[in-house]
Every structure is written in structure tokens, then in C-alpha cells.
């Protein structure tokens, strides 16, 4: 079968540029208006996107009101979108650090039923200053311990989703038997961080369980992805680093006894589209003009676990000593290291670095006519850098509509992307095999 490109909409309510909320071309609705999310998801669905993805944050914003924030909770929102869409997948973020396995398993099983098999779970090992205090914790787990917690969490939820297989539901009204209880079994999971008896009180959904999505790029994150992930969101500013990551993850999967094609790797791309290069460039210029160094510094600080960058001059070329030791960063180590490497490699000032990050926070940004955007996507796809892209429009709806109406048809004409949905479930969209329920998944020790 010919390899197929995958496209996922990473939906930020008014766009991915930090100043999109101020741009006159961005969505007019409130960030808490269901119709904003529904319209964006429907645009992506009309173009045949595999899924729409919602990120999440577990702390209130620290940017002093300079950026739009206060987004809706993902699983609840995706449940509403399930009724307003028909085919597009629905991927929501939920934390293994601040969730309970039984609750999360019920939520995603419910979403899979409501969407008729379109649910995906973006697995995150959350960390942010004050996040633990929001959940009654006086101390937060370090980077390595969070991944140990995640392993325990995954074993628990994976078992819960297998505890009540769909085949157990008989629903024999005449005979008076609703379920075959011989097929429903407790899991009795007792791990170092979580314990749950089970079985789950919701039957398995159409997919068996949600598609497992993950985004860690650190050594711990890659090891976790090789074992569990089916879709990987990743951030790269250059094709060569994306190729190295792609090759490394596929090799790690094979070493775990999995097939390389059993994971879909999607770097992020934020494309500003115009009829000419100058018109496309103006999109980012207009957005950059609406932002401020104060906002950029606050967001950079969050990326580095609360590190204070305010004493660094804005217009001096950055030095290694301007950044904290990556080993001491408890947030996303890989993203922090990538940002520091970019600044030092390209000799950026702080002001220039903040401008680079304002558009897509360390993901690939491209500006140009539709043909240029399609060329970049095709190049990365055919050269072993990506299986597709996590599309991050700088402005919603304006740039999303341009991507759907002008870039997607070019990819279809080149035979890279579907012209219609051929499957019903998210697992089918991504070309992933079914999940069995009679036996546990094979896992390496």
C-alpha cells in the first residue's frame, strides 16, 4: 500500500502565534464559545484531516493578561465536538502526573463511544510551577520520576480498557442477559504510584481503547514513546534534526519488538500563506508587531521551568551562560535544550529569539504561497523526516481556511493525501492496526 501523508489540526482558539488573539483576521468568538472550536474542526474535517488536537494547561496564566488564555477542558470540549463532527479524530491532552487511572479510563472510553471510535489521548507527564499545589501536593516529582509515574499509570489504564471487552455486551432482552460476566474481569493493578481494582464500568469503545499520542523528546520521553506511542507530536526547526529524531524513534520501536509503521511521527508546522511571498511574510510581520518582549520573556521563563531571563539584554547576542543548566530544567528538557541550541547556533539576540518563538514556540514556521508550503511538506515526508504534520495555523480561521482550501488540494493532486475518508475510526485514519483484548499487549521488560 502506498504510504499516505497524515495531517492533524493542532487547534489553538484564535491561532498559534501568541498575538493571534489581537489580529483583526482571527476568530471573533470568545475563547469559551463552542462554535469557535466547532467551526475550526469542521474546516479541518472538510479537508480530510486525520484529527483535531487540543492541548491543556493545569495552571493559570502568568503572562499578566498579555495573551489570550483560559482555554476549555479538552475531554469535555471534545465530547461536545463529537456531536458536531462525523469523521475527524478527536485527540485530547490528559496528564499522568495529576490524573487517576480509573477516572481517565472512564472519560476516554466515554469519548470513544460518543464519537463512534474517534478518540485519541495525548499522554503528558505534566510539570509546571504551582501545578502540584493546584492538586494538593506540597512537592512535585522530578523529570525521571514523572516518567516512572507514567509507566505505572499506563499499565493501569491499559489493563482497565481491556477489563470489559465489547464482546461481553450481549444485550439479550428476551433472555434477560445483558453481559457475559465471565469476560469481564478485575485488573487488580498494584503499582508503585497507582492501585486500581477494576474492572472498568464502561465497555470498551469501538477502537478498544483510544489511540496513544505522545510528545516527549528527551531520553526518557523517547524510551516511553518507543514502548507506548502510536502517534508522536514533535518539534523541529530543521529537516536534519527531524530526520535524526524520526530514525531514532523508529529504531527504538523495532528494538522493542514493534513495527516501524506502527507509529506516526508528526512534526509541527505553522504556515503563513499568501498569494505571493511578500503577502505571506506580512502575516508574520503583522503578528510580530502585536506582541511584546514582556510576554515573550514570560513564556520563555515557563519553558525553562520558571527561570528568570529579565536581566538578559534584549539586543545582545545570547551566550550559553544566559540559559540555565538543561539538567536542572524540570519542564520539557528537550524543548528547552532545542531553544538554547537554536539561539546559540544562529547567534540570536534575545529579541530575535522571542520573535522566533512567538509564532510556534520552537516548531517549524514557513511563509509563502501554497505551492511553497506543499513543497516543504512533501520534502519532509519523502525524505524520512515526517509521516505528516501537526498543522498549527498562525491565525484561526483565516490561515486554517487557506491551508484547507489551497494547500491540501495540492497535496491531493500529488497523490500524497486522501481525497476522502476511507475509514470510520481514528485508528483507521492513521493506518494503525486494531487493538486486541483477549491478551495483553506484548511489552518488553
Residue 97 lies in a domain: yes
Largest CA distance in the chain: 79
Binding-site residues, in ranges, read 56, 93, 143, 147, 218
Please report where in the chains the cell 534575545 appears, as a residue: 350
In a domain, 13, yes or no: yes
Is 32 part of a structural domain of the chain?
Answer: yes
CA 106 to the chain's CA centroid: 21
pLDDT of residue 137: 78
Segments forming the whole domain that contains residue 191: 6-270+364-429
Give pLDDT tens digits for 202-229: 999 999 999 999 997 889 999 999 999 9
Question: How far is the CA of 396 from the CAs of 15, 22, 32, 191, 407, in angstroms?
Answer: 5, 11, 15, 43, 16
The CATH number of the domain holding residue 412 is 3.20.20.30
Q: Give the pLDDT of residue 336.
A: 76
Kindly report, residue by residue over 176-193, the tens digit of the pLDDT.
999 999 999 999 999 999
**C-alpha distance from residue 331 to each of 153, 233, 301 (Å):** 19, 17, 10
Annotated binding site for FMN: 56, 93, 143, 147, 218
At CA 80, angle to CA 78 and CA 86, rounded to 5?
Answer: 80
Per-residue pLDDT band for 112 (boundaries 50, 70, 90) equals very high
- The 10s digit of each residue's pLDDT in 75-85 is 999 999 999 99
**Domain-embedded: residue 150:** yes
Nearest to 196 by CA among 183, 205, 187, 204: 187
- Dihedral (CA of 309, 235, 41, 275) sign: positive
Output the average pLDDT for the chain. Answer: 90
Q: Is residue 397 in a domain?
A: yes
pLDDT tier for residue 438 given thresholds of 50, 70 and 90: very low
pLDDT at 309: 94
Question: Structurally, how many domains does the chain consist of?
Answer: 1
* 105 pLDDT higher than 90: yes
Contacts of residue 401, Cβ cutoff 8 Å, sequence gap at least 6 = 43
* Mean pLDDT in residue range 285-311: 85
Those residues whose C-beta lies under 8 Å from the C-beta of residue 43, and which sit 6 or more positions away, are 397, 400, 401, 404
Q: How many CB atoms lie within 10 A of CB 69?
A: 14
Amino acid at each position: 500500500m502506498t504510504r499516505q501523508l497524515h495531517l492533524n489540526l493542532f487547534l489553538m482558539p484564535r491561532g498559534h502565534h501568541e498575538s493571534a488573539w489581537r489580529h483583526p483576521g482571527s476568530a471573533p468568538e470568545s475563547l469559551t464559545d463552542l462554535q469557535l472550536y466547532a467551526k475550526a474542526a469542521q474546516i479541518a474535517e472538510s479537508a480530510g484531516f486525520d484529527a483535531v488536537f487540543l492541548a491543556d494547561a493545569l495552571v493559570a496564566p502568568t503572562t499578566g493578561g498579555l495573551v489570550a488564555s483560559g482555554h476549555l477542558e479538552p475531554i469535555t470540549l471534545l465530547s461536545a465536538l463529537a456531536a458536531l463532527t462525523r469523521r475527524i479524530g478527536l485527540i485530547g491532552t490528559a496528564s499522568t502526573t495529576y490524573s487517576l487511572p480509573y477516572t481517565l479510563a472512564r472519560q476516554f472510553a466515554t469519548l470513544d463511544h460518543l464519537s463512534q471510535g474517534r478518540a485519541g489521548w495525548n499522554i503528558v507527564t505534566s510539570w509546571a510551577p504551582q501545578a502540584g499545589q493546584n492538586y494538593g501536593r506540597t512537592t512535585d516529582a522530578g523529570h525521571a520520576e514523572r516518567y516512572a509515574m507514567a509507566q505505572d499509570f499506563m499499565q493501569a489504564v491499559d489493563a482497565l480498557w481491556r477489563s470489559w471487552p465489547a464482546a461481553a455486551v450481549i444485550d439479550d432482552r428476551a433472555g434477560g442477559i445483558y453481559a457475559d460476566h465471565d469476560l469481564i474481569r478485575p485488573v487488580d493493578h498494584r503499582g508503585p504510584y497507582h492501585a486500581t481494582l477494576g474492572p472498568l464500568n464502561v465497555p470498551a469503545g469501538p477502537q478498544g481503547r483510544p489511540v496513544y499520542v505522545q510528545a516527549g523528546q528527551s531520553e526518557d520521553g523517547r524510551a516511553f514513546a518507543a514502548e507506548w506511542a502510536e502517534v508522536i507530536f514533535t518539534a523541529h526547526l530543521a529537516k536534519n534534526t527531524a530526520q535524526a529524531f524520526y530514525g531514532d524513534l523508529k529504531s527504538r520501536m523495532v528494538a522493542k519488538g514493534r513495527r516501524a509503521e506502527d507509529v506516526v511521527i508528526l512534526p509541527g508546522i505553522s504556515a503563513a500563506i499568501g498569494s505571493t511571498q511578500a503577502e505571506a511574510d506580512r502575516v508574520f510581520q503583522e503578528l510580530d508587531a502585536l506582541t511584546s518582549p514582556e510576554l515573550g520573556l514570560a513564556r520563555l521563563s515557563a519553558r525553562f521551568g520558571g527561570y528568570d531571563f529579565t536581566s538578559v539584554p534584549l539586543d545582545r547576542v545570547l551566550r550559553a551562560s544566559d540559559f540555565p543548566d538543561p539538567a536542572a530544567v524540570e519542564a520539557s528538557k528537550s524543548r528547552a535544550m532545542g531553544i538554547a541550541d537554536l539561539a546559540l547556533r544562529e547567534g540570536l539576540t534575545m529579541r530575535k529569539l522571542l520573535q522566533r518563538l512567538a509564532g510556534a514556540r520552537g516548531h517549524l514556521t514557513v511563509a509563502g504561497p501554497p505551492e511553497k508550503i506543499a513543497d516543504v511538506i512533501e520534502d519532509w515526508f519523502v525524505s524520512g523526516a515526517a509521516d505528516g504534520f501537526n498543522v498549527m495555523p498562525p491565525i484561526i480561521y483565516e490561515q486554517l481556511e487557506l491551508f484547507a482550501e489551497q494547500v491540501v488540494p495540492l497535496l491531493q493532486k500529488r497523490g500524497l493525501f486522501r481525497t476522502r475518508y476511507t475509514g470510520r475510526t481514528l485508528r483507521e485514519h492513521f493506518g494503525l492496526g486494531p487493538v486486541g483484548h483477549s491478551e495483553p499487549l506484548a511489552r518488553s521488560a
